Chain A
Amino acid sequence: MNIASFAPLAVVLPILGAALTFLLIRHSRAQRAVSIGLLSLTLLLECLLLASVWDGGTAAVTIGGWLPPWGIVMVVDQFSSLMLVVSSAVSLAVLVYATGQGMADGDQDAPVSIFHPTYLILVAGVSNAFLSGDLFNLYVGFEILLTASYVLMTLGGTGPRIRAGVTYVVVSVVSSVLFLISIAMVYGATGTVNMADLAIKLGELDQGTKTLLHVMLLVAFGIKAAVFPLSFWLPDSYPTAPAPVTAVFAGLLTKVGVYAMVRTETLLFPGDTLNTPLMVAALLTMVVGILGALAQSDIKRLLSFTLVSHIGYMVFGLAMSSTAGLGAAVFYVAHHITIQTSLFLVTGLIERRGGSSSVDRLGGLAKLSPLLALLFFIPAMNLAGIPPFSGFLGKVGLMQAGIELGTPLAYALVIGGVVTSLLTLLAIARVWNRAFWRRPADAEHPDPVLLATPAARVAGPGAKRNSATLLPRTMVGSTLGLVVLGVALTVFAGPLFRVSDQAAYDMLNRSSYIRAVLGEDTVVPMILTAGGGK
């Protein structure tokens, strides 16, 4: 029996875990064991899925025996299985970190006990979105993860979180309504919501209708992915949430939007009709995002702006619609999920150790906790794209593809990408200089604990605030694990680039996806490109 038939378990297992942890709400130890155990099992399954897809090609699973294009299908191809593996690995690390934080702070009871069920539902929603072969099921996946994220965003119900949560919920609901309107329009135009079926039927529509549907879907996904003119909600809402929640949001939620954009561009609307506007949006996302980051003094807000900015790289790779560009974008997505999440986790540790996440208050952390400095330094350099890290490799891949394309706009984007990378380095270096290198006394509003002399730290009133109690081993361990995963992406960049290039080739070619869903003898229509074709 083919392992790919077990793909729906990637959604079912976390939901089962959510139900179990909800029952075990009074037993935090059992809750932790169940959620970590089931998530590890899911990760194992997804690794097997990736291996099976790598050997056996794209596979489709029909749910409940209703055949496509009527029934719901789940499709595992290289891109979706890669995304599944990376997202589950990251969410497992964040879960371990969050349980470590819960144990360290002693908040064993409500309302944090709803964290586990909600978190597992979020993971189920993300998996469902990655697996779905059906536009409406994609919408349901989005809604599952968004509803869970509303709860996580406002966890504890404090003033700032509620304020940020309102913006987040309203923007997300509006984008979901836009998505639903697009689905209704697509259904009205073609009479199907199955993506493989749509790939054939959308091609038969006239150009005007096609462009309308294309733009509507891209706008809906653009809000979720935080692409420039639609990105202002993100730095406003992410930083107030608890550290592990921000970390998992930053890593996964926008990438689900990017994933949906990739599917729209490659499967539903192939060709290059909207590549120019997408490239302009990518350039503006990169530059405007990073300029916003330079103005911030809070590390979490700064990282939220770099998150927006680096979405631009992925959209750039996508907008080139060449195998090299899309392959680099796939690689960049995998890299960015890991790195951005680990940076947010480290920021959580900085906040615990230094008492604040504002660089105006921090100083001397490198001396206080060299391990923390190392944990920050590696992903920070990785994000800025310093060789030999994976951020550099991904950017080089994008630049190469851009120069291969050779249009003036592509060159502008290559230059914009280099400038953004340097500005990221500047923003990150400012954090490094202020929080880690300068003396605590030089900070604008230093924290008293950072100012204490070594002798006072051992015996003084703040003696309990030392590295051992403030940085529990589980939290540091999970962060370290994620940083090591980020480094592993650098070491194994060669095989990963092979997977991503193959995934990009399959997505642009479309036939393996469509044939896996609709049967081997389906005639896949040729892709018509306006600008001469590739």
Chain B
Amino acid sequence: MSVNLTLLIVMGALYACGIYLILERSLTRVLLGLMLLANATNLLILATGGYAGLAPFYSKETAAEDYNDPLPQALILTSIVISFAVTAFMLGIIYRTWVLARRDEIQDDLEDLRVAETPSFDAEDDAEIPAETSEFPVTVPAGGREIPAEDAVQEEKPGSTNVDPRPEGGGK
């Protein structure tokens, strides 16, 4: 199978530029990169069809090996249509990004950043569970400090000064 060297070099150049462009943060460049990649792939499919021969069903006398392979061209046609649809959609998205953010850039995911910044310590999960040696707790937490259990009964009564006025768990 012979292949066209010029086409192959063009294909390589398109792939290189396409990969360079999709790594950019600007959406328009990413789109251009995707278009170059799609076209480079079309050239690759064309190359798999072999040398340029006669059109299929050119005439009845043509020998089988003189025909061009039509299948890759059908494949290219389909892939052109698909990349056309995707390009149109991407343009719509880019326009929408511009309308919303006035920026032609890929935005960061806020939730991602928030999770990344979350410390590994979790107040609820990592709270220290006090080791209980007696069935009756000797001290109980109240308002940020520990008090003897017998005093806690007094704390519950109205008018106590030790009760935390904030709602439970709501203090931030």
Chain A residues engaging chain B, CB cutoff 8 angstroms:
136, 140, 143, 147, 150-151, 154, 157, 159, 162-167, 169-170, 173-174, 176-177, 180-181, 183-185, 187-188, 193, 236, 239, 295-298, 301, 430, 441-444, 446
CB within 8 A of A169: which of B37, B44, B75, B86?
B86
9-residue interface stretch from B55-63, B103-111, B135-143, B156-164: B103-111
Bound Cα distance from A443 to B112, whole angstroms: 21
Bound Cα distance from A177 to B93, whole angstroms: 20
The reply to whether A180 and B86 contact each other, CB–CB distance below 8 Å, is no
The reply to whether A165 and B85 contact each other, CB–CB distance below 8 Å, is no
The reply to whether B97 and A180 contact each other, CB–CB distance below 8 Å, is no
A residues near B107, Cβ cutoff 8 Å: 159, 163, 166
B residues near A295, Cβ cutoff 8 Å: 115, 118
CB interface residues, B 59-93, toward A, < 8 Å: 71-72, 75, 78-79, 82, 85-86, 89-90, 93
Task: Given A162-B93, A441-B168, decide whether A183 and B75 contact each other with a Cβ distance below 8 A.
Answer: yes
The reply to whether B41 and A180 contact each other, CB–CB distance below 8 Å, is yes
CB interface residues, B 27-50, toward A, < 8 Å: 27, 30, 34, 37-38, 41, 44-45, 47-48
Between A and B, 6 residue pairs with Cβ closer than 8 Å are: A163-B97, A166-B93, A180-B79, A184-B75, A301-B115, A442-B169
The reply to whether B90 and A187 contact each other, CB–CB distance below 8 Å, is no
The reply to whether A173 and B86 contact each other, CB–CB distance below 8 Å, is yes
Flag whether B131 is at the interface (Cβ < 8 A): no
The reply to whether B111 and A157 contact each other, CB–CB distance below 8 Å, is no
Bound Cα distance from A441 to B168, whole angstroms: 7
> A-side binding surface: helix, strand, loop or mixed?
helix
Bound Cα distance from A140 to B38, whole angstroms: 15
A residues near B1, Cβ cutoff 8 Å: 188
A residues near B169, Cβ cutoff 8 Å: 441-444
Task: Given A295-B115, A301-B111, decide whether A162 and B89 contact each other with a Cβ distance below 8 A.
Answer: no
B residues near A164, Cβ cutoff 8 Å: 109
CB within 8 A of A147: which of B38, B78, B86, B168?
B86
The reply to whether A184 and B86 contact each other, CB–CB distance below 8 Å, is no
A residues near B78, Cβ cutoff 8 Å: 136, 140
Task: Given A174-B22, A442-B169, decide whether A187 and B71 contact each other with a Cβ distance below 8 A.
Answer: yes
The reply to whether A169 and B89 contact each other, CB–CB distance below 8 Å, is yes
B residues near A442, Cβ cutoff 8 Å: 168-169
Bound Cα distance from A173 to B31, whole angstroms: 10
B residues near A296, Cβ cutoff 8 Å: 115
Bound Cα distance from A110 to B135, whole angstroms: 65
